Structure 1
Amino acid sequence: MSALDPYKKSNALITSRFFWMILYDTPGVIEKKMHKLDSMMMKNVRSAAINADCVLVLVDACKVPQKIDEVLEEGVGDLKDKPPTLLVLNKKDLIKPGEISKKLEWYEKFTDVDEVIPVSAKYGHGVEDIKEWVLSKLPVAPPYYPKDIVSEHPERFFVAEIVREKIFMQYRDEVPYACQVNVVSYKTRPTAKDFIQVEIVVEKNTQKIIIIGKDGKALKLLATAARLDIEDFLQKKVYLEVEVKVKENWRQDEGLLKYYGYGGKIRAL
């Protein structure tokens, strides 16, 4: 549907007749932290690792192989009982089979992981191999959620994610990374379209000008694209109102970051 928030941990639930699993999608590991937001993101990563039965590390197969043990240390930390770790080598469809073999051999030799699996997320190649690996690491346990639940997040979470996705698709450079999307109001109305009010928080007035665009055209384009996807997701018509606000250096404001939901811990189930 949409790219989940790269700043926060998100989860999805996968169930079948034979298994049940919770997937935590965390921010990428940041070695060079530039904002308090970065530090809080790393708390999310470590919190997920502490409670995980296994860890998957995603690597771009198109890039030159590099040692990631320091990255793993940054993400997993100095856990006494390090969870089983799988390195997922994505985008194998973009490189030659011989090159894949060389990169597999390199990562297996120079990286402290339990296994390396090449995949193509675009075409679904190797996904079943990942699932089988994960299932082999999960303990037997009762389900924690009803079978029809696919995420513990409410609808307003996905509304914010859709708006965020459109920001990343429409704007370039650093502007999307300086944006925080909040659903201010979500009102269901039996006799009218649901009313959704969203605010996009940026750090500078220049960023606000870019988001809005000349005569408000850029913001209107963003809101229309987001509304159509929101309606498709919710399967009903909505009235979407989007405004842009400036909160200087919000990524450095610990109080605001906590208010926006960053730095929380994943509870052990």
Structure 2
Amino acid sequence: MNHKSGFIAIIGRPNVGKSTFLNRVVGQKIAIMSNKPQTTRNKIQGVLTQDDAQFVFIDTPGIHKPKHRLGDFMVKIAENTLNEVDAILFMINAEEGYGRGDQYILDRLQHIQSPIFLVINKIDLVHPHKLLELIELYKEKCDFEEIVPISALEGNNVDNLLEVLKKHLPEGPQYYPADQVTDHPERFIISELIREKVLELTREEIPHSVAVAIDSIEKRPSNAVYLQATIITERKSQKGILIGKQGSMLKEIGIKARKDIEALLGTKVFLELWVKVQTDWRNKQGQLHQFGFREDEY
């Protein structure tokens, strides 16, 4: 049997469902999900292994016009990825339809040699007529290899998309062990799970000014894991919001994050959280490096 394998970039405007799709195909949460844009900051690789194929999906940060050095970093990762892969999934939100942000991405796809597939996500939220109109509109915008409508959340047509992709992948080796679902270390996934809960529980003034540093991970003889982590934010007022009245917000973030971390590690977890202010960290190269945003790795 010929074995196929390849690297597939998932690109699209912020909040089109890239992380939801990635978690769906690998079968567990490796990319954080939020209804706030630009949730994904690093290039997250998810691996799906079948008997005759291995898909290595790369969930890139949403391509957008950057407003600070962290934004520059995120867009550079996304654009560099396009030149290194065997296929590209350009994902759009069926409910939002065509927008200027999509054209911004389409312009960047004009000189790409890899096959490009249009994936219309969230089809469960629109009438079939609107879907047909979208398909016709996008056919005129770019010469897509194929157009595949899906619902990543519901799982509709995702298996079909995988079959379509497999046909276009080159013959190749199995790059990762069959039971591996991501190339990111547990420490990174844990910090992302904590950040997800911050995004989920706080309002607009907080999300993008937050980073999470894992201070220590210790496995005790009881098999329980003791975790200490610090939530970094930019202003004192944000620190107050993150801690909450009598520590209520920080406690809720910790409870929700601990459940996901226990599911990831398969063991009892004790989680201690602190909040620290580091002014304007998103524009400081040294602090971006400290939190894992290194341009030279991409």
Q: Same fold (TM over 0.5)?
A: yes
Amino acid at match of 1:240: L
Q: Structure 1 residue aligned with 2:57, among 2, 23, 30?
A: 23
After superposition, the CA RMSD in angstroms is 1.9
Which residue of the partner structure matches residue 193 of structure 2?
Answer: 162
CA contact (8 A) 1:69 1:111 kept: no
Amino acid at match of 1:107: Y
Distance 1:233 1:33 in 2: 32
Number of residue pairs matched? Answer: 263
Which residue of the partner structure matches residue 203 of structure 2?
Answer: 172
Which residue of the partner structure matches residue 258 of structure 1?
Answer: 289
Q: Structure 1 residue aligned with 2:90, among 44, 57, 61?
A: 57
Which residue of the partner structure matches residue 258 of structure 2?
Answer: 227
Distance 2:172 2:30 in 1: 30
CA contact (8 A) 2:42 2:61 kept: yes
Q: C-alpha displacement at 1:54, in angstroms?
A: 0.8
Q: C-alpha displacement at 1:156, in angstroms?
A: 1.6
Q: Deviations over 1:15-52 (max 9, x none)?
A: 0111112111110001x211100111112112321211
Amino acid at match of 2:92: V
Amino acid at match of 1:51: E
Which residue of the partner structure matches residue 199 of structure 1?
Answer: 230
Which residue of the partner structure matches residue 106 of structure 1?
Answer: 137
CA contact (8 A) 2:30 2:46 kept: no
- Secondary structure of 2:230's match? strand
Amino acid at match of 1:25: D
Most deviating of 95-104 and 2-11: 2-11
Q: C-alpha displacement at 1:200, in angstroms?
A: 0.7
Which residue of the partner structure matches residue 8 of structure 1?
Answer: 42
Distance 1:256 1:173 in 2: 22
Unaligned runs of 5+ in 1: none
Q: Deviations over 1:141-182 (max 9, x none)?
A: 111222221112222222112111211111121311111112
Q: Structure 1 residue aligned with 2:181, among 137, 150, 162?
A: 150
Amino acid at match of 2:77: N
Give yes or no for the alignment of 1:40 onto 2:73.
Answer: yes
Q: C-alpha displacement at 1:64, in angstroms?
A: 3.6
Q: Deviations over 1:188-210 (max 9, x none)?
A: 12246321111111111111111
Q: Percent identity?
A: 33
Distance 2:215 2:106 in 1: 36
Distance 2:60 2:155 in 1: 21
Q: C-alpha displacement at 1:2, in angstroms?
A: 6.0
- Secondary structure of 2:83's match? helix
Give yes or no for the alignment of 1:89 onto 2:123.
Answer: no
Distance 1:106 1:235 in 2: 46
Q: 1:198 to 1:126 in 2, by over 3 A?
A: same
Most deviating of 5-14 and 33-42: 5-14
Amino acid at match of 1:213: G
Q: Structure 1 residue aligned with 2:106, among 57, 72, 89?
A: 72
CA contact (8 A) 2:106 2:142 kept: no
Give yes or no for the alignment of 1:216 onto 2:241.
Answer: no
Structure 1 residue ranges (4+ consecutive) displaced by more than 6 angstroms after TM superposition: none
Give yes or no for the alignment of 1:183 onto 2:214.
Answer: yes
